[in-house]
Amino acid sequence: MTDRYAVIGNPIAHTKSPVLHAAFAHQCHQDMSYEAIFGPIGEFRETVEAFRRAGGRGMNVTVPFKVEALALADKLTTRARLAQAVNTLRFDDDGIFGDNTDGIGLVHDIQGRLGFGVEGKRILILGAGGAARGSVLPLAEQRPACLTIVNRTSEKAEALRTQFAEFATLEAGGYGDVAGRCFDLVINATSAGLHGEHLPLPAGLFAPGALAYDMVYGGTETPFLKDARALGAERVSDGLGMLVGQAAESFFLWRGVRPDIGPVLKSLQGG
């Protein structure tokens, strides 16, 4: 019988997940279906349970339900617990398993597709919201030389440092604190660009050969990537590969096979 999967969100009309998972299923010869489900606000749990009762095997969870999904899961991975958000649910015989594949999707895109090894590198994360929190542990596990987080509200970066103290050594502060320092990898995990706003990036932030990575993606180059180029970043990438990467990791959790993200990303890019 065909195994059923779905993504739940609100809104959900523009999700790329069904296209991604259909491509992975085809590539990996998996007999499965994947649909998009609109989750009414206040009815997340009921909507998930209804899908599970109807034979669903797992779900992706997107805005605004990632925190509710955390509460719904019976078992959590450490990375999901630290991210305080779940984007992948798997319905096992002994309960609901919850994970967060966003951060590992980012790491695979940077190291795999872009061929940029993180070990020993100086990394700077811009922002201290959910997107930043989800990426800290997977990045720290690659043993960078340093992992620094700056945020407009520096207290939130400090709070992340404290929260992760047992798992990773972080430096935290505001944008002014990195003036005069340079990094090999600078990741934008803020939502500033979504509102057309620019970040106060100090001159000299990018080391020779540096990669600027924006978790956001879109049809045109983001404000952060434009600014990064102007400040001398040699390489830039938007977050489309991260989107494909997190989907690939969810697929792996469900099916036990890890698809090749390259061809799927290429088709999304229209190549």
Judged by the rule CB under 6 A, the positions of this chain that interact with ligand ATR are 127-132, 151-153, 156, 189-192, 197, 199
> Parallel, antiparallel, or unpaired: how do β-strands 146-150 and 95-99 relate?
unpaired
Residue number with CB closer to ligand ATR (30 or 237):
237
Paired with 33 in beta bridges are 4
Q: Nearest distance from residue 220's CB to ligand ATR, in Å? A: 18
* CB-based contact 223:192 (threshold 8 Å): yes
- Say if residues 128 and 177 touch (Cβ distance below 8 Å): no
Q: CB 191 → ligand ATR: shortest distance, Å?
A: 4
Using the structure block, give the residue that is written with the tokens 């002994």.
94
Smallest CA-to-CA distance from 261 within 236, 242, 239 is with 242
- Nearer Cβ to ligand ATR, position 25 or 187? 187
Please provide residue 206's backbone torsions phi and psi, each rounded to the nearest 5 degrees: -100, 120
Residue placing its CB nearer to ligand ATR in the complex, 199 or 264: 199
All residues at 6 or more sequence positions from 46 whose CB lies less than 8 Å from its CB, including other chains: none
In the bound state with ligand ATR, the residue whose beta carbon lies nearer, of 18 and 129, is: 129
How far is the C-alpha of 12 from the C-alpha of 14, rounded, in Å? 6
* Smallest separation (angstroms) from ligand ATR to the CB of 173: 12
Show which residues are catalytic. Answer: 66
Q: Give the strand pairing for 170-173 and 122-126.
A: unpaired
CA 219 – CA 104 distance, rounded (Å): 24
Spatial distance between the Cα atoms of 167 and 32, rounded to a whole number of angstroms: 37
CB closer to ligand ATR, 10 vs 33 = 10
